[in-house]
Amino acid sequence: MKAVIAENLINTYDNGRVRALNGLSLDVEEGTVLGVLGPNGAGKTTTVRVLATLLKPDSGFAQVAGIDVAKEPDEVRKVIGLSGQYAAVDETLTGWDNLIMFGRLYHLSSKQAAVRATELLEQFSLTDRAKSPIRTYSGGMRRRLDLAASLIVKPKVLFLDEPTTGLDPRGRQDMWGVIDELVKGGVTLLLTTQYLEEADHLADEIAVIDHGKVIARGTSDSLKREVGGEKLEIVVENADMAATREIVAKVSASAVAVDEGMRRISAPVTTGSKALIEAARLLDDLGIHPLDIGLKRPSLDDVFLSLTGHVAEEEKESEPVDARAKRKRGKQSE
Amino acid sequence: MSNFSNGVSDALIITKRQILQLTRVPELLIFSTIQPVMFVLLFRYVFGGSIATDQPGGYVQLLMPGIFVQTVAFTLAGTAVGLSSDMQKGLIDRFRSLPIARSAVVFGRTLGDAALNIVVLLVMGIAGYLVGWRPSSGIFMITLGFLFLFVFGYAMSWIGVLIGLSVKEERVAQNVTFIAVFPLTFLSNAFAPTTGMPKYLQYFAEWNPVSTMVAGCRQLFGLKNEFGATAGSFPSEHPLEMSLIYMVLLMAVFIPLSIRKYNNTSK
């Protein structure tokens, strides 16, 4: 069963001049994780806002946990959790205060709210900071508390909007761990991210969006296959480059790429590790010791580049195209 | 539980949050009361000497109702700044994603701001007493006077809701409310007689809700209505009735507008 369905969502602002969503369609199978991947301004947050009942689309259909978002937003609110960029907690209050307040707003009794707050603080390793004001928390702790607040009533569908944006590597690792645990617990998750490795790590399926539209979807592996298979990459000393180039040409049926600066020679291969071993053997025969040798699978960066023709560049969501162009011109003249 | 009682309890949770904020950050409460007390002292001793009045007990008797009204009128600043800050930080989005009544957050907020006014009015009353304010109308009328002030503050707070949800930034909310309320409190009978103003301003001052509130409170605190406009107009003759009309009008206009704004708001 599909836990989330969005069909042909269109959302414009600035009197129709800017299209945040331009016919976006996606769905999430119950109990799975969909990673919505795209640069800033692609429409990720707008998608989440529509599905979480915060924003009415101009047209299109959305359904969450079998409930029509436009017709019964109150029913949807009972079964969703929302956290990330656009949800927040009260910084002057303590973590405990916040969880109690949100628990009460979900109509738990004082006692139930206290029990749930205790559980969640424990689950998110925040127990010892429960009575400190949120403004004294680190970024990672804040995000964890924010996430905890969205889990008070064990939502059927959880929306996480860029859950790790702005966190340091340690904070991101912690957050991934926490999300992994949730997913094991069986929650349906729609997660937006601009970090390619994050989608790769957390999501069962990925929808790549650009300019308010899904431009590709599939598993991380299938998207990578779409872009092309594995590449053999060898880095050698300058003196060995010519010989290495010949060896790579032998094991690959495709064109060989040479990066002089990086002293890297690479080519697509279809036989995987067999090609790698063959190349290593031939190098060894000639007494060449590569500085680095390996099979490289295309990254999601490569996926994005090949799908959109541009790298995952940052675009400011609220800015119309002409303003952006102006800004770029302005920068050049500086 | 019915929808209505759920809605009320949701609103009270939001109100409780604000009271909790005051206990977690006591500076909020301290500075909300220091400023009005400072006004009492400044006006009492700076203007008190130069504004002539034959009122028994002197200028401070006229001043206190004026400062009370000014202070509760500024409730809308607290409301606007608080809401726009919540909006900026994404809290409003979170509240809107919860299964709670659509009006709970704004009702809770205005109630919380009104609750703060009780403390502020009490502290100001004590400060006024210390510098010579002696209302002479008896406990019932004095209480009624404070009740008027409380409700007026609550009504003004709803203008703050609309401002807070409409501006994009906390600092803008601060400035907008200041610009909206400051002239209103000075183009009135609150601190000086309106008779010194140009004719058209006198006319404005006469109908200004701040003036009718000040004149009404002076009556309730047992003064003769000295600074009221002299034209014998309805607001100057019936300041209490006129104030009630203003409060009802404010709430009838701004409550529905604010709730609509809350429902359609987006960061």
DSSP string of A77-108, one letter each residue = HHHEEEEETT----TTSBHHHHHHHHHHHTT-
For residues A160 and A234, membership in a common domain is answered with no
Contact between B266 and A77 using a beta-carbon 8 Å cutoff: no
For residues A219 and A288, membership in a common domain is answered with no
Please name the residue ranges forming H helices in chain B. Answer: 3-24, 26-42, 59-73, 75-88, 91-96, 104-130, 139-166, 170-186, 199-207, 209-220, 234-237, 239-264
Q: Is the pLDDT of residue A325 over 70?
A: no
Segment A125-158, tens digit of pLDDT? 999 999 999 999 988 899 999 999 999 998 999 9
Segment B185-202, tens digit of pLDDT? 999 988 888 888 888 888
Segment B69-109, tens digit of pLDDT? 999 999 999 999 999 999 998 899 999 999 998 899 999 99
Specify if A246 maps to a domain. yes
Burial of A321 (0-12, 13-18, 19+ CB in 10 A): exposed
Closest C-alpha to A88, from A4, A194, A161: A161
For residues A182 and A284, membership in a common domain is answered with no
| Last residue of one domain, picked from the residues A204, A225, A246 | A225
Task: Note whether A60 and A6 are within 8 A (CB).
Answer: yes
Distance CA B159, CA B257 (A): 9
The pLDDT, as a whole number, for residue B248 is: 97
For residues A14 and A40, membership in a common domain is answered with yes
The mean of the pLDDT values for chain A is 86
Q: Is the pLDDT of residue A333 over 50?
A: no
Distance CA A68, CA A139 (A): 35
For residues A198 and A254, membership in a common domain is answered with no
| Last residue of one domain, picked from the residues A195, A225, A255 | A225
| Mean pLDDT value across residues B172-182 | 92
Q: Is the pLDDT of residue A334 over 60?
A: no
Task: Note whether A70 and A56 are within 8 A (CB).
Answer: yes
> Distance, in angstroms, between B78 CA and closest chain A CA?
16
Q: Which residues in chain B have Cβ-Cβ distances shorter than 8 Å to A101?
A: 13, 16-17
Contacts A–B by Cβ distance under 8 A? 67
Interface membership of B26 toward A (CB under 8 Å): no
> Partners of A158 in the beta sheet?
A81, A189
Task: Note whether A43 and A23 are within 8 A (CB).
Answer: no
For residues A214 and A82, membership in a common domain is answered with yes
| Facing residue for B99 by CB, picked from A78, A133, A149 | A78
Segment B28-76, tens digit of pLDDT? 889 888 989 999 999 888 887 777 777 777 889 999 999 999 999 999 9
The pLDDT, as a whole number, for residue A240 is: 85
Those residues of chain A whose CB sits closer than 8 Å to some CB in chain B are 49, 52-55, 74, 77-78, 80, 82, 85-94, 97, 101-102, 104-107, 133, 149
Stated as kind and residue range, the H or E segment containing A217 is strand A213-218
Distance CA A212, CA A20 (A): 5
> Distance, in angstroms, between A281 CA and closest chain B CA?
59
Q: Which residues in chain B have Cβ-Cβ distances shorter than 8 Å to A133?
A: 24
Could you tell me which residue, A116 or A247, shows the higher pLDDT? Answer: A116
Task: Note whether A199 and A193 are within 8 A (CB).
Answer: yes
Segment A65-118, tens digit of pLDDT? 999 999 999 999 999 999 977 558 999 999 999 999 999 999 999 999 999 999
Counting residues of chain A whose pLDDT is more than 70, the rounded percentage is 91
**Mutate: best of A90, A112, A159, A318, partner B, most B CBs <10 A:** A90
Confidence bin at A310 (pLDDT 50/70/90): low
Segment A171-183, tens digit of pLDDT? 889 889 989 988 8
Distance CA A164, CA A149 (A): 16
Q: Which residues in chain A have Cβ-Cβ distances shorter than 8 Å to B90?
A: 85-88
**CATH number of the domain within which A204 lies:** 3.40.50.300
Specify if A169 maps to a domain. yes
For residues A106 and A178, membership in a common domain is answered with yes
The pLDDT, as a whole number, for residue B202 is: 87
The pLDDT, as a whole number, for residue A237 is: 87
Distance CA B76, CA B182 (A): 12
Q: Is the pLDDT of residue B257 over 80?
A: yes
Between B170-186 and B75-88, two packed helices, what is the crossing angle to 10 degrees? 170
Distance CA A297, CA A232 (A): 9
> Distance, in angstroms, between A330 CA and closest chain B CA?
25
Specify if A275 maps to a domain. yes
| Last residue of one domain, picked from the residues A225, A249, A270 | A225
Coil, strand, or helix at residue A63?
A: strand
> Distance, in angstroms, between B213 CA and closest chain A CA?
35
Domain that holds residue B172: 3-264
Distance CA B174, CA B142 (A): 32
Specify if A244 maps to a domain. yes
> Partners of A208 in the beta sheet?
A37, A216
For residues A17 and A118, membership in a common domain is answered with yes
Contact between A90 and B17 using a beta-carbon 8 Å cutoff: yes
| Facing residue for B97 by CB, picked from A53, A93, A104 | A53
Lowest mean pLDDT among A202-206, A271-275, A319-323: A319-323
Which residue reads 């997913």 in tokens?
Answer: A183
Q: Is the pLDDT of residue B228 over 60?
A: no
Counting residues of chain B whose pLDDT is more than 90, the rounded percentage is 66
Instruction: Give Cα separations from A241 to A264, A284, A288 (angstroms).
Output: 8, 14, 10
Specify if A187 maps to a domain. yes
For residues A214 and A247, membership in a common domain is answered with no
Distance CA A158, CA A80 (A): 6
Q: Is the pLDDT of residue A318 over 50?
A: no
The pLDDT, as a whole number, for residue A119 is: 95
| Predicted model pTM | 0.83
For residues A69 and A97, membership in a common domain is answered with yes
Contact between A80 and B97 using a beta-carbon 8 Å cutoff: yes
Closest C-alpha to A64, from A238, A150, A189, A166: A189
Q: Is the pLDDT of residue A252 over 90?
A: no
DSSP string of A9-34, one letter each residue = EEEEETTTTEEEEEEEEEEEETT-EE
The pLDDT, as a whole number, for residue A242 is: 84
**Mutate: best of B97, B170, B264, partner A, most A CBs <10 A:** B97
Task: Note whether A253 and A270 are within 8 A (CB).
Answer: yes
Could you tell me which residue, A327 or B109, shows the higher pLDDT? Answer: B109
The pLDDT, as a whole number, for residue B5 is: 84
Q: Which chain B residue has the Cα nearest residue A78?
A: B99
ipTM of the complex as predicted: 0.89
Domain that holds residue A175: 2-225
The mean of the pLDDT values for chain B is 90
For residues A135 and A254, membership in a common domain is answered with no
Residue A141, CB half-sphere, CA atoms under 13 Å: how many?
19
* Structural domains in chain A (count): 2
| Mean pLDDT value across residues B4-31 | 91
Contact between B97 and A91 using a beta-carbon 8 Å cutoff: no
For residues A207 and A249, membership in a common domain is answered with no
Lowest mean pLDDT among A204-213, A248-257, B240-249: A248-257
Task: Note whether B244 and B179 are within 8 A (CB).
Answer: no
Confidence bin at A321 (pLDDT 50/70/90): very low
> Distance, in angstroms, between A307 CA and closest chain B CA?
31
**CATH number of the domain within which A258 lies:** 3.30.70.100
Residue A88, CB half-sphere, CA atoms under 13 Å: how many?
19
Specify if A262 maps to a domain. yes
> Partners of A160 in the beta sheet?
A83, A191
Window 103-132 of B: residues touching A by CB (8 A cutoff) are none
The pLDDT, as a whole number, for residue A328 is: 40
Q: Is the pLDDT of residue B161 over 90?
A: yes
Specify if A304 maps to a domain. no
* Structural domains in chain B (count): 1
Contact between B95 and A105 using a beta-carbon 8 Å cutoff: yes
| Mean pLDDT value across residues A208-221 | 90
Contact between B90 and A52 using a beta-carbon 8 Å cutoff: no
Confidence bin at A298 (pLDDT 50/70/90): confident
Between B26-42 and B59-73, two packed helices, what is the crossing angle to 10 degrees? 150
Contact between A101 and B16 using a beta-carbon 8 Å cutoff: yes
Specify if A78 maps to a domain. yes
Please name the residue ranges forming H helices in A58-193. Answer: 73-79, 95-105, 110-123, 139-149, 169-184
